[in-house]
Amino acid sequence: MGGEPVRVLVTGAAGRMGHEVVRAVSAEADMTVVAAVDVAAVGQDIGGITVTGDLSAALSQTRPEVMVDFTVPEAALPNIRAALAARVIPLVGTTGLGPADMEEVRRLCADHQTPALIAANFAIGAVLLMRFAAEASRYFPDVEIIEMHHEKKLDAPSGTAVRTAELIADAREAGAAKRGDAPGAFERFPGARGGAAAGEIRVHSVRLPGYIASEEVIFGGPGQRLSLRHDSIERGSSFMPGVLLAIRRARQLDGLVVGLEHLL
């Protein structure tokens, strides 16, 4: 992105992930945090920058090139709209956006001739897990996903689990999986079998202190089982290299890009 440091606006800057983004970007020589936006902690200092609650003022006054968003889905979509209208590239880690939201972002990218990235997981290990899961599903079409996160996570199932299910559904042969449970099977407690993502893949969500973000994809076949598992055990070192990569590659994006794998 030229010789000047990339100008980065962070939304959700006072949150768990946003705080890490401010810290990580501030430590790099080729990028700089020009604005920290959050509805919480307005007026407070985060890593040498004062948090503001006014995104549109921050966009027009600080002239960022990219906006890194780790907020909540209800906030992420309006934030993306505002960024694209200002021709600022949104790099979005917030999970929970649905297919209709994605379609709107795709259209807005075209309207404003500005690209965007939405990545359910910025950890390289999770991106590899999704790739390996898609590959394995061609040989093991029967699969369930267990995702485990910290107790403060708002959405369930996780964006990574939903994306993993989508990639598996796209990769495995249509109709190859055994559909549904045994005849006569029932749930003693509602939800005991988890929810179905991407049409038919069961996803089970665990929320407990002691986790950051983990996912296990279990494939069952005749006489054998295959488990793929990824654990993020620390936010800064597991997610930030992917965020920094996205900031450095932002200008090379074309339209809406979904998934960090397209930048690797």
Q: Which residues are catalytic?
A: 149, 153
Q: Which one of residues 27, 40, 57, 176 is an interface residue with ligand NAP (CB under 6 A)?
A: 40
222-241: which residues touch ligand NAP (CB under 6 A)?
A: 239
Residue 208's contacts (CB-CB under 8 Å, 6 or more residues apart) are 148, 150, 151
67 sits near ligand NAP (criterion: CB under 6 A): no
How far is 205 from 161, CA to CA, in rounded Å? 9
Neighbours of 68 (CB within 10 A): 30
18 touches ligand NAP by CB under 6 A: yes
Q: Which of 59, 82, 120, 203 binds ligand NAP (CB under 6 A)?
A: 120
Can you state the percent helix, strand and coil of the chain, rounding each to 5?
A: 35, 25, 40
CA atoms within 13 A on the CB side of 210: 3
User: Buried b / exposed e across 88-112, counting CB within 10 Å, b at 16+?
Assistant: bbbbbbbbbbeeeeeebbbebbeeb
Residue 178 tokens, joined: 């055994």
Residue 119 contacts ligand NAP per CB under 6 A: yes
Q: Which residue is nearest to ligand NAP (CB)?
A: 15
> What totals of helices (H) and strands (E) does the chain contain, helices first?
7, 13
Tokens describing residue 145: 């996903």
**70 lies in the site for ligand NAP, by CB under 6 A:** yes
Tokens of 46: 């985060």
Least CB distance to ligand NAP at residue 110 (A): 24
**Is 52 one of the binding residues for ligand NAP (CB under 6 A)?**
no
Contact region with ligand NAP (CB under 6 A), list: 2-10, 38-46, 175-183, 184-192: 38-46
| Dihedral angle sign, alpha carbons of residues 154, 156, 160, 166 | negative
Give, as ranges, the residues between 137 and 176 that touch ligand NAP (CB under 6 A).
155, 159
10: β partners: 36, 68
Candidate list 46, 122, 145, 250; residue touching ligand NAP; CB under 6 A: 122
- Counting contacts by CB under 6 A, is residue 250 touching ligand NAP? no
Span of 13-21, 28-36, 170-178, 249-257 interacting with ligand NAP by CB under 6 A: 13-21
Pick the closer one to ligand NAP by CB: 11 or 114: 11
Q: Which two tokens stand for residue 250?
A: 């932002």
Q: Does 38 bind ligand NAP (CB under 6 A)?
A: yes
Span near ligand NAP by CB under 6 A; candidates 25-33, 34-42, 57-65, 184-192: 34-42
Q: Is residue 17 within the footprint of ligand NAP (CB under 6 A)? A: yes
Q: Which stretch binds ligand NAP (CB under 6 A): 8-16, 164-172, 202-210, 251-259?
A: 8-16
CB 145 within 8 A of CB 166: no
How many residues of this chain interact with ligand NAP, rule: CB under 6 A?
Answer: 27
Residues that bind ligand NAP (CB under 6 A): 11-12, 14-18, 37-40, 70-72, 75, 93-96, 119-122, 155, 159, 213, 239
